[in-house]
Amino acid sequence: MARELQKAVNDFPLSTYAEIAAQVALEHPAPFIEAAAHIVAEREWLAAQLRALPGLTVYPSGTNFLLVQLPGPKQPILRRLLHEQGVLVSDLAAYPELTNCVRVSVGTRAQNERVVKGMRG
């Protein structure tokens, strides 16, 4: 019986809070659509700015973050982003295929400008 019940359980269960938030979003979509459009616009701006920097590879994204492959050692760039720009990006070295990659979340224009400045050096 437990095996059959387990088939009905989602691999990524939602909390009650998440379910309520989803219901509110479905009932009042306008602010969420506007926020999503803003994130998409900032993602495209950030991707274009990073693609213009020599040696960086920015992969296409349909999410609120970018996967960026760096041309050389990551640590100097990660330190510069954190200590000079106050920006924390995710180092993906734990994934063997992504050892030279970082995950950059899309933020506000000011935050995204700091990312570009930190990547530029």
Q: Which domains does the chain have, with CATH numbers?
A: 2-120 (3.90.1150.10)
Q: What is the pLDDT of residue 51?
A: 98
The 10s digit of each residue's pLDDT in 73-107 is 899 999 999 999 999 999 999 999 999 999 999 99
pTM beyond 0.95, yes or no: no
Q: What is the pLDDT of residue 94?
A: 93
Chain-centre distance of CA 4, in angstroms?
36
- Is the pLDDT at 23 greater than 80? The verdict is yes
Q: What is the pLDDT of residue 6?
A: 73
